[in-house]
Amino acid sequence: MNWRKAWVVVTLAAAMAGAGLYAVLAEPGAEKAGKGETTTPSAWVPAVKSKPLSDNVKKGLEFLAKSQLKSGAWGQGEESQQMGQNIGMKDTPSVADTAVCTLALIRAGSTPSEGPHAANVRKGIEYICAEIEEADSQSLFVTKTRGTRVQAKLGQYVDTFMGAMVLAEVKGKMGDAAANKRVLAALDKVMDKIEKNQKSDGTWASDGWAPTIAQNMGARALNKAAQAGIVVSETSRARAEEHARGNYDKASGKFKAGGDAGVALYSGGSNLSAIQESANTNAALRAQYEDKAKNAPTQPERQQAQDVLRRFDENEKALKEAKTAFVKNLDDERFIKGFGSNGGEEFLSYMNIGESLVVKGGPEWEKWDKSITENLNRIQNADGSWTGHHCITGRTFCTAAAVLVLTTDRAPVPVAAKIRKQ
């Protein structure tokens, strides 16, 4: 039986007393609202004061809106001449491409029910939900589409992780009860698949050219769902967190290579982002576990809560050390260039770096934001798009990823994470 669907009136205490712990962003003992949803998801807000949308971003948004397919999805679109054309895939609906485009429109201020691109967002979400609904319940796949450029470069399950990330952001924001219920059911299903297929070391499949980026997205999916009020396996979250922390080598001040195609930008940005995203969720959960550590009725329950809090502290310490060391790389032009030219992998890595720095804000974030904004504005195409020059080159994906970098100041984090500011 699907534990998430069966868990309706189980309290946090009962869950902790069982075989595993679960991340619950509701008052301890609160009943679940159904289908794995808690009653009080954490509030999300930008960590810094958001800038007005620039003309470059607005042009990028216009390009994305015009590129949406009739199905509501996006395909990879036109690719650069350096890569040639991925035959037959230009206008093939893709969950990963749709998710990143939808997320870019959301980050710029639209929801499925409000904003200048509300209709585009809603159609994108409807497509993603439809694909997940047709998927099996056991494997990690959420789509029958195979052979996309993004899958080849980031791994065949990237659609799953990106789909979950965007569904977490629109949960409860569809504008009507039926659509909200559909999103919740789809998110519930895909999170079951993510948890079920996670390996004991915290990883998922390692296929693709740079799977470290997809691994980060898997970790982000777990944390975004938890922050959105979905009951998430704390065991799964802890495994992903510990995997990312384990890749940081304190002696060298660098992240270990692996699954990054030999590009330190990819592994560094991905692992730092995974640690930061887990820290954001931990901050939102901390008060509940502190209360449990003091007031739980039994010693085993109090001890389990204390163990979780100890893990939270270890992650905060690792995040501080890793971020301090990582920032030193940002003045290295060769490091920032990644593979040597712009591609979707670079843009996603810039997003990961920015969303890690923006939580604390301050000079380091401001310096990074200014530098990367100038770079992306300089390389934008006249039609408002961005093109990659190696690997992920599709204009839809690259444009959406670039917009996400340029709107990092609008990326939402749990209020508690903003207050703690690691």
pLDDT for position 44: 86
- What's the one-letter identity of residue 72? G
What domain count does the chain have? 1
Domain span at residue 273? 3-420
* pLDDT value for 22: 43
Tokens of 65: 């809106």
Mean pLDDT, rounded, for 289-308: 96
Q: Does the pLDDT value for residue 18 go beyond 50?
A: no
Contact (Cβ atoms closer than 8 angstroms) between residue 384 and residue 406:
no
Residue 401 has pLDDT above 60, yes or no: yes
Q: Which pLDDT belongs to residue 416?
A: 67
- Residues 272 and 326: beta-carbon distance below 8 Å: yes
Q: What angle do CA 129, 397, 88 make, to 5 degrees?
A: 80
pLDDT beyond 90 at 189: yes
Q: Are 339 and 390 in contact (CB under 8 A)?
A: yes
Asked if residue 104 has pLDDT above 90, the reply is yes
The tens digit of pLDDT for each residue in 351-393 reads 999 999 999 999 999 999 999 999 999 999 999 999 998 899 9
pTM value? 0.89
Q: Which of 245, 247, 217, 241 is nearest to 345 (CA)?
A: 217
Compute and round to an integer the Cα radius of gyration of the chain: 20
pLDDT at 128: 98
> 233: part of which helix (H) or strand (E)?
strand 232-233
How many residues does this entry show for the chain? Answer: 422
Residue 210 maps to which CATH number? 1.50.10.20
- Please state the rounded mean pLDDT for residues 124-129: 98
Per-residue pLDDT tens digits for 138-156 = 999 999 999 999 999 999 9
